[in-house]
Structure 1
Amino acid sequence: MSSWNPSHDVRTAMKHLSIDPVIVRSVCCPKCFASYALDDIPEFCTWRARRRCRPCGEPLTATRSTHSQGPITVPRRLYSVQSFRSWLEWFLSRPDIEDLLEQSWAHQPSDDSMRSTWDSPAWRSLGNFSTTRGNLTFSLFYDSFNPLHNKIAGKVVSCGVLTLRCMNLPFDVSRRPENTFFIALTPLPYGPNVVTITALLDPIMDQVLPFWIAQLIQTYKFPLGRSIRAGIVPVIADILASKKALGYGSHACEQFCSYCLCTLDQLERLDLENWTIRTSEAVRTAAENWTAAQTVKQREQLFKSSGVRGSALHRLHYRDHVRHTVIGVMHNWMEGVLQHHCRVKWGLGTNVLSFGSSSGSSDSDYMLDSDHDSDDDSGVSDDGDADTREVAWKPTGRRIPVTPTFNPTDLQFIRSRLARILAPTWFERPPANLGVKAHGKLKAIAWQNLFAYCLPLILVELWASESEPEPRNSELLANFDHLVAATDIVCSYSTSNTAADAYNAHYIAYRQGLHKLWPTSASVPNHHYAMHNGDQLKFWGPLILLSELPFESDIGELQDINTNFHYEDMDYTMLKQISRKARLTAEIETNADFRHTDDNGHSLADILLGDRSTTVSNLHASSTTAKKASRSLKKDLAAEHYTAILDYLNSRGEMFQHCEQAGLTCTDSVLPPTGQNFNSFKQYGRQFSTRHSHEGNSLVLVRRPLGIQLRGFIEDVYCIDIEGTKRTFLILEPLESVPNVLNPYRHFTGLACQVAYDRPMAARIVAEPSHLISHLVALRCPGGTFGIPEPIIITRSLNQGRVPE
């Protein structure tokens, strides 16, 4: 590395780095996805669905013309799977990985709350496997995407991505692309169905299953080899994808739920304590019986009675095939429950396609998981008949309310308030023209931010500002209050059994309110799936840590990879390129030579990765202003700020004298009167600023002594060298809360909003970065709002359970 010149050709550099993954390719039947070795390709596919069935018979080869060799025979499709052993050897050869893994093996779970998956009962559900050194627990993610994105109009193709992530790494480390194992991409142009997906999962199981028994792997700390075991435990996907991969029937089946035995005619059931929950043993038995059946009729009967088919994932004998399947918060809640409430219950945006999407939406969209098309659950049999015959599910009541909840005046009110919301720069704002086609399709985070943070600041004024609001408005607000409270719990980065019980109470009350407010608008399967979130919170801990959000970012990376759009090679190109980039990023992180610059200021990291020379910041790690302080000039502190910092230190028992105090001796500790003044700093991976620099980044929630919380604006930031240690101090302008009797939000505790006067208080408060809890979102309202004469500001915390309060 030391002799490499950054001006050399990038392809030469990539070649010398030896970062190419080991990818095993096999011939794949375009119809049934059965695999064949490259050195033994039959003319036609010989796979049989059952022993008595006819072979598939699909041609496996085609003739292609070449300039140099003329016509040649080539496979029609190839299936590419990355070597698990090879990746594991590379992964464990990195110098920092084993120290990070050690954190999970040594972790002691908390008794009262769960702040990570390591605290959960699920982490201990395999006995001492997860706590034994050398044992690795992986999650499996599966989803389909269109690799063409919008590059070729009118072309709709499907490619499935299968990835593994090591759950023994801390959450913010495991989600990075360089720590993600892209094990396979399904061949294009069409994805497998519920039966043929087994042929694509089997090669993956063949690689992972042997590692349940210890294997000797060379690692950074053990170059002669270390005993390593590995297993796949949770399966993470949207509901339709997980059903396909795990062999469950779709939402169209009578036995539609993967977690309980409720049937389609019981969608409105809310007596959760009386439901019959599936067991792993029963699911495995039903799958084995279905696989062993030799006729279409037998399989139909077995599937109808159980709602379960065979799946390659059932080969993972150590998995609990019910409890180890995660309900994806992103699709089930953000793009499911929340989007459904907005579009169907409120009727907002129902006159446009897909809430601004140009592609439209099917009946299964957002009623189940979001914008995913309903999977073909018919299966493919060898004789051309449907392997399973299901009657498509249709809602029994009206999907769209007769009268939209918001009239044009209400919509204008909401849009004007959305445009005025004060928020930090990292906050993804919902569009101010909500419900209009021009803003395009909302992301999952935008749905969460709309319901959890923006609308709570707005709808109380709309529905409850009058002295005697209309009864329906009060009911709408109460229903919304329960929805927001449930959203806070299910999307939080910390949870507990008490929180899970509160989720159940709020969500059941929310659904009871739906039935009362919209009696003709029936529930949908996604509403039922969300009833299981309470149990999932108790078993898995914070569900947001197991959401699809980081995996969806991986899909965006795959879509951005340049290919030649040849279907036979696209999956291989994407798999190879994203794996190479991941390995390159990891190498740059651990090798300082990549950041050495030449005479023109160019580094190898800049050339190979462009602007991205480092990984995503750790959201839970602190960063200080030390580097800025070393480059900034000192200046005198404002007199009032100097006095405030001195009083703050003395109140904490750190006794310092004023620099101008008479009679000082050489033994007295004096607070320096000078320091560096900054406009911004980072904490928890977020940018915090002074008010004059960026008002949205300056509005914060801080922790005070005795558990008191304070909201206010950061006025100034100082870094002072105190006895050889650089310490950062924040000067805050605190907000004065309105009297509780005037606060309309006291009736809506689920909205978790605070109301304060929109004016600075005379006193200033001093805090340190470690006292910060989070940014706030806020809405300023003029005097007279809620009958309060002075202008007010309504605030809501963006902590989301990340930092203990």
Structure 2
Amino acid sequence: MSQRSRPRRTARCTCTSHGCIQQQCLYENGQPRPGLIITTWQCHLHMLADQRILNVEAHACNDPQDNEHPHPVVEPPLIETSSPDHSRPNHPNDDPEDPPYDCSPYHIFNLQRANPPLLHISLIAVLLHVFEHCSSPTCSSFLKANLDLVKIILTQGLVQSQPHRMLTHAENTSLHALPLDICTIMKSLHLDPVLNYLVCCSECYAMYPINSNIPLNCVHLTVAHADDGPDPTDEIDDNHPVITNQICGTLLFSAAQNKMVPLRHYATQHLFEWLARFFAQPNIENELERCAFLSSTPYEPNSEVNDIQQSRLWKSFLGPDGVQFTSKASNLTFGMFIDAINPYVSIRYAHQNIFLAGIAPGPKEPSLEQINRILTPIVEQLKTLWCSGLRLSRTFQHINGQHIFCALLPFFADLPAARRSLGFAAPTATRMCSYCLLQRNEISNLDQNTWPPRTLPGHCYWATQSKNSQSLNARNKILCEHGVQYSVFLKLPYWDIVQYHVVDPMHNLLLGLLKWHVNQFWRMDNTLDEMDPQGISTQELMDLLGDAASGSNGATSNIALPSPTHSGQPFLDLDFNTTNDSNDGTFRTTISNYGWDCPWAAPSRGKIILDSQLLLYVNKMLPRIHVPTTIKRAPPILGKASHGRLKADELRHLFTIQLPLTLPVYWASGDPIKRSLFQNFAHLVSLVNIAMKRSITNNLISQYRTHINAYLSSSLFLFPDTPLAPNHHMAVHLADCLEKWGPSRAWWSFSMERLMGSLVKASTNNQIGSLEIPLMKSFARKGNLHALLDSQVLPEASKPFLSTLKGLSTPFASAEHSSRASKSHSLDSRLLKALIERLNILFPQEPLTWISTDKWCKKCPQEATRFLPVTSTIIGYNNYSINEATYSSCHQNPSNSIVALKGNAPCHVGIISQIFKHVCHLQDKSICSDMWLVITPLVSLPNSIANPFAHLNTYCLGLSLRVSDDKQQYVIHVDEVLAHCAWLKYKPHEVSNHLPFETYAVVLLNN
């Protein structure tokens, strides 16, 4: 008989860290009580987790003045147990004698002894659940099916002639150990984040720690009828004592199955726990060291800046000790989304390196006062991490622990979210700008030197006055006159709320300026859409840019228009022999040698620029435009409301690729109005291209300022009936952000928007009132699962198969791959000679020289030692991919076949006619295998030939008209490729009567 096991001691746990408080159990008298019956040891661990979390969160979840709110309480277990004294919570230490923050759970966890096949099945199921959003029942069925598959393989074997056998006892035991519930597997893999649960008022967003003392109705004192700002036309009387404080009174609980259930929960991820897990990653400290080294070099004003670590503000940011904060690897810097940006760009946006602090409760958009309550917990933790830091008991590289500090630097969001979160007035307010005090009715003032700048002392003063004001009218007066409200970010002693928020280029330029240009300046015609005579709604645009129509442009007669590079051709000398009014849809241009420069001429008032004729032409040309497969094409049909609104990427590609390839031909009729419209358009595209570059210099920033001023001044002249919007004003300040923070890719919201978009795909199980919690868990699980696959805790037998698992979690693999075209064959003598020339230039083996194998064989043995033979044998390929770029031969995929080359290459732009791999032996007898491209050059047209693509070097369009030189071919190493090109082939005479041959309009995509 088996020995009876001793009964385990149990206790009722009501912790919030593991969600036990949300469960129900029967008490000794049979009455239901909140909590979960678990072992006393588990209860003890849960209480320790609560103590770590609640010590930081309890004093931060409500306003300091709300003394009526209950304090968090952790109910003791039913059975008292003896345990060490843990009365002192685990938190950052002012006293070095205090115990460090316990990180042992993230270092003790190990799967080395796990069963590799069953672990592999479990990981696949978790990946499908987390990344592909498969439901729990589907994952359970998957686990059962794979369990059956393992049994079939064990009993039947993989060889048909193998005899059937029975499972052994050990095999049966192992198979029964595989959980069939996906939640059990995720729990065993420690994928769930540590969350602190709070009861949230659905009306005012007041937060209550979960305990038995929570009132049925919200007792928070709130401001009556508070909004984001007054109507600028209303008269404000601060002597009128409007009552602003009243008890919210919103119901917090509802009755469900004889128990009271909170109507809404709010969960915050604990930053200290996240940091403990973050520093447990194997390679993260090496990346931080690399980043700190890059940050510690002195700032060079005239050098090229490739990332935020090289920017001026990053290198001048000082810590509490007066030393550069970002030069230490133990100092972590966050951006508000919230994203740890110390790691290099290649790992910065990985799920496991992003801290999701919380998701604002929906469904309505919170006010500033409500946002302050939501952000207070994370701000308090950031404040602690700045002042006293956090002493971790252990990191991956520091067994004895490490003391770390954290700071918040850039804040990036769209315009309304930034204003609402930071306490600045809305874009429709009198003080429309968060950097200067220019009034909205002066928006046409383009002289930045006359704009009174905001200062941090002035902002803090008026924000404090607004916070302490007892009158709603007084607050509104401050908001109207100074554009300021109180924000919880002002609690951070080091954070400059004026200088440390940025203008997000995605929302400002793409969804702002480009969308305004096509819908408001050009007035896109919707006559192509027969089913929707009302046209395209601009509600989204107006919400984004504000009610700019109420502003004033001022007199346009005093506008200083940009001066053309050339004097321009006199109006009477322009050639009007041909027009664009052809019935067959073809266009014959008569552009002169002067290019596009001419005296400015405005179209008639109210004229539709993007009219039906232009739309038809652009739509006709779109199918002929080739863009690389890695770039999303703009919609094939423009002007149809049924096609939907253009997204940021679609707008960018429309303005920087499709329209530059087509508009020069359409507008090159010699009409000064069309020339003026194209110059205005070219300035817009130029500033967008510069702002989106991967690296930035002071010269490029100066060019950006030139283009934005030229674009705005010419827009005021060309479109006097359409006012500028606040986004146009903010685009001028974007130049200051580029100067302070470096290239915009380090702080734009593109990457974060894509990651946040994955949240909405997560399974929520229809948990109304708690929708944000499963979304947070889903996001955190993705990061923790990425970290698990990259960790060293998995069995050695599983590691050869991890690449397949990582492919499920990473849609874009960074490894090289290619598709083979044919068997080995030989290069012809001309290409072999070109290959040898590039080998001697790119891979010199001094004092030896590369020569063909035929010549080498003819050398005498003594002379042959001075040379290295190059065989003509190659392996041909159709495609070659590395990272996200795919290069193809022109016969395989023309869209991927035209590339721009780096400066040391023998040509600038060319067509890939062949891709091959070549193997050769180096001087040290080692084998070198490289990928090579055979390039047919595309050469520029001579300046003597007039064409509408000439004389555009004053703009940053990356646009040129080229012709193929079929008589010449070069062999180029794949590392000499600079970027892909988008292109459009024009037929003979299609661009100009002076061009009776095929031409290629090419846009360089090196942004």
Q: Same fold (TM over 0.5)?
A: yes
Deviation per CA, 1:762-805: give whole Å up to 9, x if none.
121111122110000011111112231111001011011xxxxx
How many angstroms apart in 2 are the aligned matches of 1:717 and 1:595? Answer: 37
Does residue 1:394 correspond to 2:550, yes or no?
yes
CA distance in 1, matches of 2:657, 2:724: 25
Deviation at 1:176, TM superposition (A): 2.1
Q: 1:192 to 1:362 in 2, by over 3 A?
A: farther
* Aligned pair partner of 1:131 in 303, 306, 327: 327
Cα displacement (A) at 1:636: 3.1
User: Of 719, 731, 738, which residue of structure 1 is paired with 2:917?
Assistant: 719
Aligned position for 2:292: 105
**1:481 corresponds to which letter in structure 2?**
A
Match of 1:532 in 2: 733
Query: What residue number does 1:152 align with?
Result: none
How far apart, in 2, do the equivalents of 1:360 and 1:318 lie? 46
Q: Assess if the C-alpha contact under 8 Å between 2:430 and 2:480 holds in 1.
A: yes
CA distance in 2, matches of 1:511, 1:132: 43
Deviation readout 1:699-753 (Å, 9 max, x if unpaired): 1001243x87511111222222221121222211111221122243233231331
Instruction: List per-residue Cα deviations over 1:483-542 (Å, max 9, x = no partner).
Output: 111111111111122211211111111111111111111111111111111111111111
Distance of aligned partners of 1:328 and 1:112 in 2 relative to their CA distance in 1, 3 Å threshold? same
Say if 1:284 and 1:321, in contact at 8 Å, map to a contact too: no
Query: Following superposition of structure 1 onto structure 2, how do residues 334-413 of structure 1 map, counting pairs within 5 Å?
Result: 334-349=510-525, 361=537, 365-367=540-542, 369=544, 394-396=550-552, 402-413=606-617
Given the alignment, which residue of 429, 434, 441 partners 2:633? 429
Cα distance, 1:125 vs structure 2: 3.6
The 5 Å alignment of 1:225-236 reads 225-236=401-412
SS in structure 1 of the partner of residue 357 of structure 2? strand
Query: How many Å separate the matches in 2 of 1:249 and 1:528?
Result: 15
Q: Is 2:1006 aligned against 1:799?
A: yes
Asked if residue 3 in structure 1 is aligned to residue 91 in structure 2, the reply is no
Give runs of aligned pairs for residues 724-743 of structure 1, distance below 5 A: 724-742=927-945, 743=947
Q: Give the partner amino acid of 1:83.
A: H
Q: Distance in 1 between matches of 2:656 and 2:900?
A: 17
Shift of 1:114: 1.1
Cα distance in 1 between the residues matched to 2:197 and 2:464: 29
Instruction: Confirm or deny that 1:224 pairs with 2:400.
Output: yes
**Aligned residue in 2 for 1:190:** 364
Distance, in Å, in 2 between the alignment partners of 1:352 and 1:325 is 42
1:169-180 matches, cutoff 5 A: 169-180=343-354
Mapping 1:740-755, distance limit 5 Å? 740-742=943-945, 743-749=947-953, 750=955, 751-755=957-961
1:463: which partner in 2?
Answer: 667
Give the TM-score normalised by structure 1.
0.86
Judging changes above 3 Å, is the alpha-carbon distance between structure 1 residues 316 and 486 closer, same or farther for their aligned structure 2 residues?
same
| 1:263 pairs with 2:436 | no
Partner Cα separation in structure 2 for residue 580 and residue 476 of structure 1: 51
Residue 407 (structure 1) shift: 3.3
2-structure distance, mates of 1:510, 1:496: 21
Deviations 1:369-414 (A, max 9, x none): 37xxx7xxxxxxxxxxxxxxxx99734589x972211332222111
Counterpart in the other structure of 2:340: 166
Query: Do the aligned residues in 2 keep the contact of 1:416 with 1:432 (CA within 8 Å)?
Result: no
Contact 2:548–2:726, Cα closer than 8 Å, also in 1: no
* Aligned counterpart for 2:962 among listed residues 750, 753, 756: 756
Q: 1:506 aligned to 681, 701, 707, which one?
A: 707
In structure 1, distance between residues paired with 2:754 and 2:304: 29
Q: Quick check: 1:297 aligned with 2:473?
A: yes
Contact kept? 1:683, 1:769, Cα under 8 Å: no
Measure the CA separation in 1 of the matches of 2:535 and 2:719.
28
| 1:645, distance to aligned residue in structure 2 (A) | 0.7
Of stretches 719-728 and 664-673 in structure 1, the one that deviates more from structure 2 is 664-673
Judge conservation of contact 1:342–1:348 (CA < 8 Å) in 2.
yes
Residue 697 of structure 1 aligns with which residue?
Answer: 896
For 1:159, the equivalent position in structure 2 comes to none
Q: Residues 320, 54 of structure 1: CA spacing in aligned structure 2 closer, same or farther, 3 A cutoff? A: closer
Q: Secondary structure of 2:934's partner? A: strand
Letter in 1 for 2:853: C
Counterpart residue number, 2:687: 486
Distance, in Å, in 1 between the alignment partners of 2:645 and 2:538 is 15
Q: 2:206 is matched by which residue type in structure 1?
A: A
Pairing 1:319–2:495 present? yes
- The residue type equivalent to 2:878 in the other structure is N
Of stretches 715-724 and 326-335 in structure 1, the one that deviates more from structure 2 is 715-724
| Cα distance change on mapping 1:201 and 1:358 into 2, 3 Å | farther
Deviations 1:228-255 (A, max 9, x none): 0001111110010010100111012111
Secondary structure of the residue aligned to 1:191 is coil
Instruction: Output the CA distance in 2 between the equivalents of 1:275 and 1:516.
Output: 21
Relative to 1, partners in 2 of residues 1:402 and 1:594: Cα closer, same or farther, differing over 3 Å?
A: farther
1:555 — aligned with what?
A: 756
SS in 2 for 1:237: coil
In structure 1, stretches of 5+ residues that fail to align are 142-163, 375-390, 801-805
Q: Distance in 2 between matches of 1:54 and 1:214?
A: 37
1:58–1:638 distance in 2 versus 1, CA, 3 Å: farther
Q: Does 1:46 align with 2:158?
A: no
Determine helix, strand or coil for the equivalent of 2:368: coil
Residue 349 of structure 1 and its aligned partner are, at CA, apart by 4.9
Q: What percent of counterpart residues are identical?
A: 25
TM-superposition CA deviations, 1:23-73 (whole Å, max 9, x none): 10111111111111111312222222479854433234333323xxxx211
Amino acid at match of 2:366: P
Equivalent of residue 788 in structure 1, options 991, 995, 1003: 995
Given residue 740 of structure 1, which amino acid in structure 2 is its aligned partner?
Answer: N
Asked whether the equivalents of residues 192 and 777 of structure 2 are also in contact (C-alpha less than 8 Å), the reply is yes
Q: Deviations over 1:104-136 (max 9, x none)?
A: 200035542211111111212422011123101
Secondary structure at the residue paired with 2:411? strand
| CA apart distance, 1:684 | 5.1
Displacement of 1:561 in angstroms is: 0.7
Given residue 251 of structure 1, which amino acid in structure 2 is its aligned partner? P
Match of 1:675 in 2: 874
Q: Does the C-alpha gap of structure 1 residues 35 and 484 become closer, same or farther in structure 2, counting only changes over 3 Å?
A: same
The change in CA–CA distance for 1:592 and 1:680 in structure 2 (over 3 A counts) is farther
> Would you say the 8 A contact 1:337–1:367 is kept in 2?
no
Deviation at 1:679, TM superposition (A): 1.8
The answer for the alignment partner of 2:982 in structure 1 is: 777
When residues 651 and 311 of structure 1 are mapped into structure 2, their CA distance, relative to the original with a 3 A threshold, is closer
> 2: distance between equivalents of 1:521 and 1:482?
18
Say which one has the larger Rg.
Answer: 2
1:30-179 pair list within 5 angstroms: 30-39=202-211, 40-49=213-222, 53-66=244-257, 71-107=258-294, 108=297, 111-127=302-318, 128-141=324-337, 164-179=338-353
CA positional deviation for 1:593: 4.7
RMSD: 2.9
Q: State the alpha-carbon separation in 2 of the partners of residues 538 and 189 from structure 1.
A: 38
- What is the one-letter code of the residue matched to 1:672? T
Choose which of 14, 22, 26 in structure 1 pairs with 2:194: 22
Which residue identity is paired with 1:23? Answer: L
What amino acid maps onto 1:115 in structure 2? N
Equivalent position SS for 2:115: coil
Distance 2:443 2:796 in 1: 58
- Summarize the Cα distance change of 1:695–1:362 in structure 2 as closer, same or farther, 3 Å threshold: closer
Question: Aligned pair in 2 of structure 1 residues 421, 696: CA closer, same or farther (>3 Å)?
Answer: same
Query: Offset at 1:310?
Result: 0.5
Please tell me whether the aligned partners of residues 367 and 524 of structure 1 are also in contact (alpha carbons under 8 angstroms): no
Q: Counterpart amino acid of 1:13? A: I
Q: Residues 357 and 764 (structure 1 numbering): CA distance in 2 closer, same or farther, change over 3 Å?
A: farther
